């Protein structure tokens, strides 16, 4: 078999012709990043290439001194004669699919993606290619999402009810992506949006990048509890159950994640409310996205890879399962987090070490166990 343009190596997805990696999980010379989530954007590489809307958040997360080149969607960069360009993935602000072309052969790495327009991330665009490397976090038919407007109606009604009952409303979602998506879709006429420090730092980075986010207030001890009760508090999953959160009592706590589609997962979360809101494509979304690329073969990197690739083969795709270290964000906080301390909560999340375990089926990756354990999340 001729050498593939993109290969799966111990360091990550590698392009030998261009001598660069896409979302590597070990330090390399040149890394193309699809987005800034911790399982895709890791520290230590010499040079990074990413979308321009990821610039500030990457500097915040990976370090201000990283060597970073950013480009808009659709612009081509050449490396050793290999064309690299980025296309919207619709996952979070600045998330991209990486398109790699060499001598007429086109590969696309999806990173994480969703097909629904969330009103804040540039909507997903299918990119025609020969080979598509796709995630499948929710690659089981029991995961099918409702339009987000229905979910936000539920969230807004719930917030309103909590205000009436004199309880604070706390809603948890990943600090980069989910938090801003919730923020931008809340009914802001209801009250103030308060943020945990980790989320507010992320918001600040995005604002520096020129993104116009609605006003948020970083929680601090001076804010009277009565004020907080009328508002809604955005919390990262890592702070769920912390002292910081307990101090806001009495409250109602909601959790936003695709996993909430299944009762068992919802019960494990022990949230008052579980809202089915995901930044990943659902079952139908995955299949339609893969189909739209017109690809000859598809490689599934994380999620229910075994079942999903088997199903794709049965319906006529040349589908392969590959083992990677992706699959962190939706499952963040699946394992009860450490108490993150109290106070203003500023930077509380940065005390966390180690990449969260993937709840997706990352099979037989023992060989990477060490690399995984040593990899700081570096918020």
Partner 1 sequence: MKHFAALFAALDETNKTNEKVNAIKAYFLTVSDADKMHMLALFSGRKPKRQINSTLVKNYAIELANIPVWLFEESYQVVGDLAETISLLLPESSQTSNKSLTEWIAEINALNKLDETERKLWLIESWASLTRQERFVFNKLLTSSFRVGVSQSLVVKALADISKLDAPTLTHRIMGSWDPEVYTFTQLMEEQGALDDLSRPYPFFLAYPIQETSEKQKSPEEMQTALGNANEWQAEWKWDGIRAQLIHRKGEIFIWSRGEDLATEKFPELHPFIQALPDGTVLDGELLTFRDEQPLPFNLLQTRIGRKNLTKKILEENPVAFIAYDCLEVGGEDIRTKTQTERREILEQLQRDTSFSTIFRVSPLIDFSSWEELAGIRKNSREMVAEGIMLKRKNATYQVGRKRGDWWKWKIDPLSVDAVMIYAQKGHGRRADLYTDYTFAVWDGDRLVPFAKAYSGLTDQEIGKVDAFVKRNTLEKFGPVRTVKPELVFEIGFEGINQSSRHKSGIALRFPRILRWRHDKKKEEADTLESLKSLL
Cα 68 to Cα 15, 34, 50, 204: the distances in Å are 19, 13, 7, 19
Cβ 329 to partner 1 shortest distance, Å: 16
Q: Least separation, in Å, of the C-beta of 155 and partner 1?
A: 13
Q: Find the shortest distance in angstroms from Cβ 124 to partner 1.
A: 22
Strands 76-79, 105-109: pairing kind:
unpaired
Q: How far is the CB of 140 from partner 1 (least distance, A)?
A: 5
* Smallest distance from partner 1 to CB 373, Å: 11
**94 or 333: whose CB is closer to partner 1?**
333
- Residue 282, φ and ψ in degrees, nearest 5: -85, -175
Nearer to partner 1, 26 or 266 (CB): 266
Q: Specify the residue, 207 or 310, whose C-beta has the smaller distance to partner 1.
A: 310
Cβ closest to partner 1, residue 144 vs residue 342: 144
The Cα-based distances of 290 to 54, 73, 75, 323 in angstroms read 25, 20, 23, 19
Closest among 116, 49, 123, 133 to 93, alpha carbons compared? 123
Indicate the DSSP class of residue 24: -
Backbone phi, psi, residue 292, to 5° = -70, -20
Q: Is 80 left (phi over 0), alpha (psi -120 to 50) or beta?
A: left
**Least separation in angstroms between CB 364 and partner 1:** 7
Other residues' Cβ atoms within 10 Å of the Cβ of residue 288: 13
Q: Which is nearer to partner 1, 107 or 304 (CB)?
A: 304
User: What is the contact surface with partner 1 in residues (CB under 8 A)?
Assistant: 140-142, 144, 261-268, 270, 272-274, 304, 307, 310-311, 314, 334-336, 357, 359, 361-366, 369
Q: Which is nearer to partner 1, 208 or 268 (CB)?
A: 268
Percent of residues in the chain assigned helix, strand, coil, to nearest 5: 30, 25, 50
């Amino acid at each position: 078999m001729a050498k593939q343009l993109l290969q799966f190596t111990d360091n990550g997805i590698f392009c030998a012709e261009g001598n660069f990696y896409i979302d590597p999980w070990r330090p390399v010379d040149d890394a193309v990043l699809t987005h800034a989530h911790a399982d895709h954007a890791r520290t230590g590489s010499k040079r990074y290439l990413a979308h321009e809307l990821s610039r500030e958040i990457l500097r915040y997360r990976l370090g201000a001194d990283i060597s970073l080149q950013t480009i808009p969607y659709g612009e081509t960069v050449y490396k050793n004669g290999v064309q690299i360009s980025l296309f919207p993935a619709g996952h979070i602000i600045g998330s991209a699919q990486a398109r790699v072309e060499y001598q007429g052969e086109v590969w696309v790495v999806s990173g994480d993606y969703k097909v629904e327009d969330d009103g804040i991330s540039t909507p997903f665009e299918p990119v025609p290619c020969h080979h598509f490397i796709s995630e499948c976090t929710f690659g089981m038919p029991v995961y099918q999402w409702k339009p987000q407007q229905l979910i936000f109606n539920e969230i807004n009604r719930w917030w309103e009810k909590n205000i009436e009952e004199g309880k604070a409303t706390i809603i948890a979602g990943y600090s980069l992506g989910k938090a801003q998506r919730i923020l931008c879709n809340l009914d802001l006429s209801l009250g103030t949006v308060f943020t945990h420090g980790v989320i507010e730092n992320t918001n600040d980075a995005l604002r520096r990048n020129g993104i116009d986010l609605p006003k948020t207030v970083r929680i601090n001890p001076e804010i009277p509890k009565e004020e907080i009760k009328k508002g809604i508090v955005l919390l990262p999953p890592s702070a769920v159950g912390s002292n910081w959160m307990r101090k806001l009592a009495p409250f109602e706590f909601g959790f936003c994640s695709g996993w909430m589609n299944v009762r068992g997962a919802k019960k494990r979360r022990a949230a008052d409310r579980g809202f089915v809101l995901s930044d990943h494509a659902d079952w139908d979304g995955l299949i339609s996205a893969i189909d739209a690329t017109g690809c000859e073969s598809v490689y599934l990197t994380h999620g229910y890879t075994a079942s999903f690739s088997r199903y794709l083969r049965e319906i006529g795709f040349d589908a392969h399962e590959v083992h990677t270290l992706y699959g962190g964000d939706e499952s963040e906080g699946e394992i009860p987090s450490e108490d993150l301390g109290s106070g203003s909560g500023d930077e509380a999340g940065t005390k966390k070490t180690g990449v969260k375990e993937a709840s997706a089926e990352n099979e037989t990756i023992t060989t990477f166990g060490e690399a995984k354990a040593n990899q700081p999340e570096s918020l």
